[in-house]
Chain A
Amino acid sequence: MIGRIASAEIRRFLVTPGFWVLAALMQAGLAWLFFVHLDRFMDLQPRLADTPGAPGVTEMVAAPTLMDAAVLLLLATPLLAMRSLSEERKTRSLVLLQAAPVSDWQIVIGKFLGLAWMLLIPTAIAVAMTLTLSTGTSLDPGRMATATLGLVLIVVLVSAAGIWVSGTSRHPPVAAGLLYGVFLMLWLAQTTSQPAGAGINLVQWLAIPTHLEPLMEGHLRAADLLYFATLTVAFLALARATLGRLRGEGA
């Protein structure tokens, strides 16, 4: 049943011009940023060649491009996610799912997988874009693998958050605005002040860059994987609770 809901969701995205326009804009923006990083690297490359331990093309072009892709995903997700539950509440098509013999968990997971799958398309293209560098130079495979994993984990996290926030309002623009707010907080939480010498506080722990940057730098740490898993499950549980509330109050 989850597969049916996910595939219907994917089908609905694929026939929507808005998705393709957004995907094209993302790719255009990412391509521009990729060339900016590449251009800077080409400028510095003669000096870097003589410096022992200098950063290579993976550090200076591929990883920053994938980090940019993560930011673009955060910008694009609210525009896609708002249709998942919010638009269904607005058009009252959610009744189709609520009246069917499927659980609220199945609805949430199906919609989550559908959205995540769609976001994996531009993600795959972003990774492929950076891999084209390997035709002219050698990339650090370990760092590329952790950076790609980081990007996939971002897709999973933002999809879960998107499904949850999308269900909180029957007005899609409001849902999108709320989701931008959530992402902004999760991104900027890293900048909260902390006394020198102290570890990170809870707010900083909640920040996406705290856990994404190590992956982009090639460090695979259990704590970061736990962060993404915890937040994803928490957002999905909130989405499930929101659907339950809608059944209690009327969508």
Chain B
Amino acid sequence: MTPLLTTENLTRRFASRRGVEALSLSLGHGDIVGLAGLNGAGKSTTLAMMAGVLRPSRGQVLVGGRSIVRDRRARRLVGFAPDRAPLYPELTVREYLDFSAGLNGLSGDDMKQAVLQVMERTRLDGVQRRLIRTLSRGYQQRVGLAQALVHHPEVLLLDEPTDGLDPQQTAHFRELVRDQAGRGAVLLSTHQMDVIAGLCNRLLVLHDGRLVTDVALDDEPSTHLQALFAEVTGTEAP
């Protein structure tokens, strides 16, 4: 089966630090992939390149066979929720999601349906008329997630998505991700091994910008994953 997203020799170098080095991987339908790594390992850089926000120094990202840099249609297939939600605090939730859906090519009834649907999925319908700046951090995270989901992307990229969520919100988030994996692939970066253990069917570990582990998961307990992470990154297991 054709992978939904492929990276080929993806490399990003910065003047002052190492970014990502020769990362090659692919995501297929149903994948829920956890991307782990120490701070500065290159997780956010990887996601930003996959989303088309940051240009690679070398290599490429293909989504649906199209280059994310050269072909804008590829970006329509990707939903990206960065660690800090890209919000317009002066807009209401509804206005913001309408705008986000419009940016991704939806219009008319399709846009209306998509926005209503995503608000229901992310449980934002009760606050749709509220200004984003008046919402709690957890709700703002949900708005950030909703903008990534509103155009029905095939690939969902999430950077530290559970930060700031309470246990109930985290449980709902897990449901959402599982549901989304039925429609495509999900790649999420996180420090929390329990999130990866309870949700993901594959683990990637980045260390110093390089992919050092790519393993399939089958209900491994988070302690096993923590031990594995410590081993490949040369850190001490908690």
Contact = CB atoms under 8 A, between A and B. Distances in A.
B104 interface: yes
B137 interface: no
Given A96-B147, A99-B78, A99-B80, A4 B103 contact: yes
Given A99-B75, A102-B72, A250 B54 contact: yes
A4 B91 contact: no
A94 B103 contact: no
A15 interface: yes
A248 B12 CA distance: 10
Interface string A75-119: 000000000000000011111111111110000000000000000
B20 to A, nearest CB: 12
Given A4-B103, A250-B54, A95 B91 contact: no
A180 B48 CA distance: 33
A96 B91 contact: no
B86 A16 contact: no
Nearest to B51: A99
Task: Find the residue from B53, B55, B99, B147 having the highest chain A CB count within 10 A.
Answer: B53
Contacts of B54: 247-248, 250
Contacts of A91: 84, 86-87, 89
B90 interface: yes
Contacts, number: 75
A101 B73 contact: yes
B102 A4 contact: yes
Q: Which of A16, A101, A103, A247 neighbours the largest number of chain B CB atoms within 10 Å of its CB?
A: A101
A251 B84 CA distance: 13
B76 A101 contact: yes
A12 B147 contact: no
B103 A93 contact: no
B161 interface: no
A158 B104 CA distance: 30
Contacts of A92: 82, 84, 86
B86 A11 contact: no
A12 B74 CA distance: 28
Count class of interface residues, chain B: 20 to 34
Contact of A103 (B72, B80, B88, B99): B72
Contacts of B88: 8, 12, 93, 96
Contacts of B82: 92, 95
Contact of A95 (B78, B86, B95): B86
Of A8, A15, A100, A248, most B-chain CB atoms within 10 Å: A100
Nearest to A103: B72
A54 to B, nearest CB: 51
A98 B89 CA distance: 18
Nearest to B100: A96
Contacts of B72: 101-103
Contacts of A96: 86, 88, 100, 103, 147
Nearest to A7: B99
Report which residue of B82, B99, B103 has the largest number of chain A beta carbons within 10 angstroms of its beta carbon: B103
Interface in B86-143: 86-91, 95, 99-100, 102-105
Contacts of B51: 95, 99
A1 interface: yes
B104 A248 contact: no
Contacts of A93: 86-88
B52 interface: yes
Nearest to B53: A98
B91 A11 contact: yes
Given A95-B80, A101-B75, A4 B90 contact: no
* List of 6 A-B pairs having minimum Cβ-Cβ separation, nearest first: A96-B86, A100-B103, A101-B72, A101-B75, A95-B86, A93-B86
Given A1-B102, A99-B53, 8 more contacts: A8-B99, A93-B88, A99-B86, A100-B75, A100-B103, A102-B72, A103-B72, A248-B54
17 contacts: A5-B103, A91-B86, A92-B84, A93-B87, A95-B53, A96-B86, A96-B103, A98-B52, A98-B53, A99-B80, A100-B100, A100-B103, A100-B104, A101-B104, A248-B55, A250-B45, A250-B53
